[in-house]
Amino acid sequence: MNPLIDIGLVHYLVLSSLLFSAGMAAVIMRRNAVVVLMGLELILNAASLNFIAFGRFGGLGLAPHVVVIFVITLAAAEAAVALAIVLNVYNRYGTITVDEIDQLKE
């Protein structure tokens, strides 16, 4: 009996759906701004994993890898800008709880 199993496309898609579900749960709960940002990062990672999996098993060449590099760059820029916004909101309101920051409308 061989303990190693052949990892196929379904395994990647299941892992990607679990990452996406965890990210959506974090975004929907939206108690803390940092948790929302981490949820967005999980969603982007799930999309990247799908691109890589379909690129590997679909024979698409290097195109999915280029898209993933773009997604990683976008995620890094999004994290830097979003954390700067979170720090400014904390300095002004003293909290990063998304539900309590409703004064931004004014």
| Per-residue pLDDT in tens (0 to 9) along the chain, 106 residues | 566 678 888 999 999 999 999 999 999 987 788 888 899 999 999 999 998 898 888 877 788 888 889 988 988 998 899 889 889 888 888 888 877 776 665 5
Residues counted in the chain: 106
Rounded CA gap, 89 and 41, in Å? 20
- Domain 9-99 sits in CATH at 1.10.287.3510
Q: What's the whole-model pTM score?
A: 0.79
